[in-house]
Every structure is written in C-alpha cells, then in structure tokens.
Structure 1
Amino acid sequence: MIEVKGPASRVAVIGTGAIGRAVVHRLLAGGRDVTVWNRTESRTTELVAAGARPGRSVREAVSSSTLALLTLKDYTAVQQCLTQLDMGLSGQTIVGMYTGTASEARQAAQWVTGLGGQYIDAGIQASPEMIGTTAATILYSGSRHAFEHHKTTLELLSKPRFVGQTPEAAAVWDLALFGVWYDAQLGLLRALDAVREAGIDVAEFSHTANTQLGHVVAAIAATVSEMQQATYPSGPADLTEHLTVVRHLIELRTGRPLGDGGLPEVAARIEALIADGRGGEGLTATVG
C-alpha cells in the first residue's frame, strides 16, 4: 500500500453502491484514509473490514475529510445528504458523482459554496469494474482550484478530465454522450422494427445499417467544423431534399412502438429555414 500523508489523504465516500464500493477499494489501495457512510449501515461492513473507517452520519464522515465523494444514484439522494451538512465547509471539497442534470449540478454547487466549501460535479462514463483502470472516463467541472488540489487522488479512479468551470459542464457532457448512444441505438431499433414489419431480413439489412452509421462517424470532424464556422454546405443533399426524406420517415414511423424520434419538430425546423431562404444549406444548419 502506498502511504500518503497529510490532510489531502483523508477522503469520505458517501454511498456504497457498486460504484461507491469500487471507489473505496481503489482509494484504499492508493493509500488514502477513507471514511465511509451509507444509509444502510450493513453495506459498509465489507469496506470497514478492508480498512475504511465507518462514519456514523454524513456529517461525521464529511467532517473527517478534506474531500468527500458523493457516489449516489441520483440528485434526490445527493440533496438528502447535503441537507445533513449543517456546518461550515471551509477548506473542504464536495464531489457529486452521480448522473444528473445541469440544474441539479448548479443547485448542489450553490448549496456547498453557500456553506463555504468548493464543489465539483462529476460524470462517470465507466462501470464499477472499470474504476481505477485506463478504460474509465470520469468528467469533472466546477472549481478548477479544488480539482487541481485533489487531482492526485482523482487520478486513482481514472484519468480525470476537467471539462469546464461551470458546475453543470460535466453533467451536460455526460448526458450528451449518453444521448449519442441512445439516439443511435434507438434509431437502429426503429429501423430494424420497420424492416421486420415489411418482411425484410433484419440480419441482411443490418449490414447496410452498419455502413450508414459509419458515414455519421466519419463525418464528425466535418460537422464540428461546420458548427464552429457557422457555414453549412449542402453536402450530399440540401435542406429541401432532406425535408422530403424526413417527411417520408415520419410516415414510415407513424404508429410504431418507439415513436418517430422527434422528426416532426425537425421537419418544422427545416421548413422554417427553407422559408427563410436557406433551403440550399446542409442539415447542420438546423442547429445553426
């Protein structure tokens, strides 16, 4: 075990679910002095046996540490724990490690800073078994000073990535990444459902779907450049041509179990751009 001396070695972990347990074990292996608290006390027994200190309350656990990681399932649980901190937090950093929204991150930051502490929001793009490996991605935002101060400890969990000084930056980044997956996966499921209904071999169709998804991935750099430069070349099709296809897709998806994917709103946006004389632009113009 690596011995780390000084206040920075003292860490509290609030919440000992799958992620929390993985975090505690990694911190202990890194020589940190870890205090744990969980609403169901029996869930900390294994961790205490491994070397963690038990906290009798959220207040006691946080008071014992300079860095507190709230490894909880959602903002409701975070809020319940924060309301128990009826004390000053000067010199302490609270990290919210949960999947939440931008407004929730701002609220947590406001609560912590109101008590004199520093707040960091975290988005975990990793499963419990990935914690402490190079495969883990954890995003952080909020107080850069606090992030730099505790970076050595955070590096025990993953290669930390600081994504912005607003509290909500990590939450937005995290949810946007989830959104990429959901949009792609649900889009694929809608397509497979439609072709199956038409009697088409879904396995055969999947090969062409793979190619189509590859076009999206290959165009990421160009799409980013268009957004940054606010120029929207038509590419393979302009907005007037896209509108025709989008309308056909709306008809194809009507009444399907996964809905239309928000395409009527997309069609309305394209129609507005065409009416504004921008029909010759490409699809990226819809977010311009």
Structure 2
Amino acid sequence: MAVLGLGLMGRALAEAFLRAGHPTTVWNRTAAKAEPLAARGATLAATPAEAVAAAPLVVVCVADHASVRAILEPAGGVLGGRTVANLTSGSSGEARRTAAAVSRHGADYLGGAIMAIPETVGTADALLVYSGPRAAFDRHEPVLRSLGAGTSHLGDDHGLASLNEMAVLSVMWNVLNGFLHGAALLGAAGVDAAAFAPLAKTGIETVAGWVPGYARQIDDGAYPVLDAAVDTQLAAMRQVLDESAALGVSTALPAFVKDLAERAVAAGHGGDGYAALVEQFRKPSEGRP
C-alpha cells in the first residue's frame, strides 16, 4: 500500500503497516520526514503519482480535504482501479466532494476516521471507521485492520465516517467542557482540580452508562423519565448558573444548558426524560441556516 502524508498520524499509519509486514510506499511534501520510515523498510516515492502507482490501496492523511484533492489530482492518470482510503479529518460534505473527485478518475473511495491517538495506531486500542463501497472495504479490510483492531464499515455513504467523527468530537469536547467548568467552580474555592478528578470521573462513567438507553429513546422518539424529568432538572440547572455567577466563574455553559431545557419545557417536554432535549438540538440555531 501507499501512505501519502507523514505528519504524526501519517507516520503512525505507515509504521503500523510496516510492523504488520505490508510492503509500504510513502510520500510526503517534505521528503526528509520519510527517511526514518525508509530505514524501517518503506519505499520512498518522489511524487504522489509514483506512490499511487506502486499500490492498489492508497491511504491519505493530510491537513484537510482541499489538500487531499490537490495531492491526488495530478496523480489522476494512475488512480484508475485503485482504492483511496482517506483518513483526513473533515466534514461529511467535504468527504463527498473528495469522493466525487477521486471517482472521476476511476478509483474507489473510502472515507475514514481515526478515533485514536498516534501512539495507539496498530493496536487493539485503535478504532477506525470507514464508509463507501462495501466491496472496496471488504477487499482491503485485512490490510486496513493492521491499523487497529477496532476497524469497521459504517455504510455506503462516503460522508458517513466523517459525520461520525464530528459527532464523537462533539461528545468529547462537551464532556471535557463540563469537567473544566466544574474545575473552575471548585478552583474558585481553592480546591485543586486533582482533588475533583475522581468525583468527575465517577460522574462521567455514570453518564456513559446511560448512553445506550438514551439512544433507544431517541430512536423510538419517546422519552420516559429514568431519573428526573426536565422540569426537575431545570431547577438544578438554575442552581449551577447561580453558583457560577456567585463565584465569578463564567456562566456561558450553564446558561446554555438552562436555556436549552427551558425551550424543551416550552415545547411541552417538561415532564419527559432528559433525552427529550435532542429535539432542541435538531433545530437550527437562530440566525444560522
């Protein structure tokens, strides 16, 4: 296979292929970054086209989708019959545009997303997801599985892997933002974040256990109360907001949560479980498309 792009993640991908014994050709705009891989047995390509021509599977991991298209377009003459697995982060719309550009040259396109850090690539801890033609994924799955034991195909829509990546990032950032706001609250009282961390971890693990049940409620469109109705939770949300203001901590996050719940109540979901707030997230924000 070929790996185009040798940043931290691209190098980790190429190293995983080499450890698994797969002949690997690499290319990077700054050629010096490829030299350590050559010492481990990789073949260095002078151009993207040379790298593409060397392998039936071309893995790309660069800064953005515009860069992917700019790198692959000059190689269009040798793309035909190959599969491009693009592991570059980007929106689902960008993934579909890149898929269309690649497909015009007669290549299959798999959009991909890496749910892992470079250090775990190639191990049982790495999760990678792909979307695009199932036949192309099945053909290359044994090789792609070298990048992580948690390798799966999500569907034929080229943008689905990217969309899942954006959704997971939203979850991670919001969990971390909650922890950071909590640490700021306690920090105002002189409590170290390290002392708060065990309690926060317990809370995060509790919420993680609720996710499968919430998912079923969302899919069913029914929101039974599992712990407390939105009306009841709204009172606690106001308390967090008041505490933040009293301590001189930013009220932006708790105010957003409270406002979201108030809109849910206004829409008739006050007696429902917390998962009913998904109906508010489904609506576009005011002033935005």
**TM-score of the superposed pair, with normalisation by structure 2:** 0.84
Q: Which SS does the other structure have where 1:236 is aligned?
A: coil
Going from structure 1 to structure 2, the CA distance change for 1:253 and 1:96 (only over 3 Å counts) comes to farther
Give 2:269's aligned residue: 278
Structure 1 unpaired stretches of 5+: 1-10
Given the alignment, which residue of 147, 151, 165 partners 2:141?
Answer: 151
Tell me how far apart the structure 2 counterparts of residues 138 and 167 of structure 1 sit (CA, whole Å): 15
Tell me how far apart the structure 2 counterparts of residues 213 and 141 of structure 1 sit (CA, whole Å): 30
Tell me how far apart the structure 2 counterparts of residues 20 and 276 of structure 1 sit (CA, whole Å): 47
Determine if contact 1:88/1:116 at 8 Å carries over to the other structure: no
Given the alignment, which residue of 18, 24, 28 partners 1:34?
Answer: 24
Give 1:220's aligned residue: 211
Displacement of 1:51 in angstroms is 2.5
Determine if contact 1:88/1:117 at 8 Å carries over to the other structure: no
Give 1:95's aligned residue: 85
Give 1:7's aligned residue: none
Displacement of 1:204 in angstroms is 5.2
In the alignment, is residue 115 of structure 1 matched against residue 105 of structure 2? Answer: yes
Query: Which has the larger helix fraction?
Result: 2
Which range is displaced more, 245-254 or 176-185? 245-254
Tell me how far apart the structure 2 counterparts of residues 210 and 30 of structure 1 sit (CA, whole Å): 36
Displacement of 1:247 in angstroms is 3.4
Give 2:43's aligned residue: 53
Tell me how far apart the structure 2 counterparts of residues 40 and 205 of structure 1 sit (CA, whole Å): 44
Tell me how far apart the structure 2 counterparts of residues 210 and 148 of structure 1 sit (CA, whole Å): 38
Give 1:65's aligned residue: 55
Given the alignment, which residue of 126, 133, 146 partners 2:123?
Answer: 133
Cα displacement string for residues 6-33 of structure 1 (whole angstroms, at most 9, x for unaligned residues): xxxxx11111223222322332343433
Tell me how far apart the structure 2 counterparts of residues 35 and 212 of structure 1 sit (CA, whole Å): 46
Q: How does 1:75-94 map to 2 (within 5 A)?
A: 75-87=65-77, 89-94=79-84
Percent identity for Structure 1 against Structure 2: 30
Cα displacement string for residues 51-90 of structure 1 (whole angstroms, at most 9, x for unaligned residues): 2222121122112221111122333432331333342632
Going from structure 1 to structure 2, the CA distance change for 1:242 and 1:71 (only over 3 Å counts) comes to same
Going from structure 1 to structure 2, the CA distance change for 1:138 and 1:251 (only over 3 Å counts) comes to same
Going from structure 1 to structure 2, the CA distance change for 1:12 and 1:241 (only over 3 Å counts) comes to same
Give 1:20's aligned residue: 10
Tell me how far apart the structure 2 counterparts of residues 165 and 277 of structure 1 sit (CA, whole Å): 37
Going from structure 1 to structure 2, the CA distance change for 1:83 and 1:265 (only over 3 Å counts) comes to farther
Give 2:252's aligned residue: 260
Which range is displaced more, 266-275 or 232-241? 266-275
Give 1:235's aligned residue: 226
Q: Which SS does the other structure have where 2:153 is aligned?
A: strand
Give 2:283's aligned residue: none
Going from structure 1 to structure 2, the CA distance change for 1:275 and 1:21 (only over 3 Å counts) comes to closer
Tell me how far apart the structure 1 counterparts of residues 78 and 121 of structure 2 sit (CA, whole Å): 31
Determine if contact 1:140/1:163 at 8 Å carries over to the other structure: yes
Determine if contact 1:253/1:260 at 8 Å carries over to the other structure: no
Give 1:165's aligned residue: 156
Give 1:196's aligned residue: 187
Going from structure 1 to structure 2, the CA distance change for 1:285 and 1:154 (only over 3 Å counts) comes to same
Displacement of 1:201 in angstroms is 6.3
Determine if contact 2:52/2:78 at 8 Å carries over to the other structure: no
Displacement of 1:239 in angstroms is 1.9
Q: Which SS does the other structure have where 2:252 is aligned?
A: coil
Tell me how far apart the structure 1 counterparts of residues 72 and 235 of structure 2 sit (CA, whole Å): 52
**TM-score of the superposed pair, with normalisation by structure 1:** 0.85
Displacement of 1:268 in angstroms is 4.1
Structure 2 unpaired stretches of 5+: 280-289
Q: Which SS does the other structure have where 2:79 is aligned?
A: coil
Going from structure 1 to structure 2, the CA distance change for 1:96 and 1:242 (only over 3 Å counts) comes to same
Displacement of 1:119 in angstroms is 0.7
Tell me how far apart the structure 1 counterparts of residues 30 and 191 of structure 2 sit (CA, whole Å): 52
| Alignment length (residue pairs) | 276
